[in-house]
Structure 1
Amino acid sequence: MTDVLFYHLTESTLEEALPALLERSLDRGWRAVVQTGSEERRDTLDVHLWTWRDDAFLAHGTDMEPHVEHQPVLLTTGAENPNGAHIRFMVDGAAPPPLADYERAVFMFDGHDAFQLEQAREHWKSIKAEGHPVTYWQQTPEKRWERKA
């Protein structure tokens, strides 16, 4: 079964938290796919990941570009896994595809957005009912992740 993690953003934005998690995934030798809730969000993250830190380079592409199968990190609005990712991130309430082909799945949701909170609750229930091991992580005031469930 796929390990499923829920990350509740309370102290930082997705743009602040996601790049570090993507870097850790790449450090493990994993390819990643990030599924957004809209094309606009995908495109905003695309621009952000190129410039998120002066001393870092996070190679990635979007599902609108050629050769998506070669991207270590792929940003998409779809349910496919064209780059053979080991880990899938769902952001902005994106509905997950079947997760059995991934080693890990991560739901990241904004704790200040009622829609995203409700989507996270629904996804938690359905993923748990499928039998996947799930954990819930919340940010501390220092922006560290603390396991809550």
Structure 2
Amino acid sequence: MRVDFYQLSRDPVDQVVALLARKVMGAGAKLLVVSGDIAAHEAISKTLWAQDGSAFLAHGPAGGPHDARQPILLSDNCSAANGATMVILADGKWREDAAQFERVLLLFGPEDTAAARDLWRTMSGDDTRDLHIFKQTPDGAWREGR
């Protein structure tokens, strides 16, 4: 399993989720976006529908009648009724059941940096997890770093 840590410093969570979701959709995969914050779900949904000049990113809230057909599901847990192989943990909180996915993208802001570092240390001893960290540059690009 691959775990990508995304250290947010410039752009808000909803914009980063939309950027990453577009890449996941471009790769032909399905996605689950998890956050325990319902207000975050609303902001993410709004951003996924309104992409600057680009096609919107079709999605829906988990628990609906068409979950299995949704390319992107927004949920408060890691149950992927759409068969997603990738999950974005948009609230910066690790969930052990995220380990069922091929790839996990953990987004964390400055307030969660200490917890992310502790999680990295804990996971780095597990050879089954391929860890990567991405940091945002002042111009908005992402680079892999340490």
TM-score class, shorter-chain normalisation, is 0.7 to 0.9
Q: Specify the alignment match of 1:120 in structure 2.
A: 116
Q: CA deviation at 1:100?
A: 4.1
Work out the CA distance in 2 between the residues paired with 1:36 and 1:141: 26
Greater shift, 11-20 or 72-81, is seen at 11-20
1:98 aligned counterpart, secondary structure: helix
Are 2:3 and 1:7 equivalent residues in the alignment? no
Structure 1, unaligned runs of 5 or more:
none
Residues 135 and 49 of structure 1: CA distance in aligned 2, closer, same or farther (over 3 Å): same
Check conservation: 1:5, 1:137, Cα contact below 8 A.
Answer: yes
Deviation per residue, 1:24-45 (Å, 9 max, x gap): 1011111000101322222231
Q: CA deviation at 1:47?
A: 2.4
Q: CA deviation at 1:92?
A: 1.6
Work out the CA distance in 1 between the residues paired with 2:124 and 2:7: 17
CA RMSD of aligned residues (A): 1.8
Check conservation: 1:19, 1:49, Cα contact below 8 A.
Answer: yes
Structure 2, unaligned runs of 5 or more:
none
Amino acid at match of 1:128: S
TM-score (norm 1): 0.86
Identity of aligned residues (%): 26
Moved over 4 A (4+): none
Between the two proteins, the alignment pairs up a number of residues equal to: 145
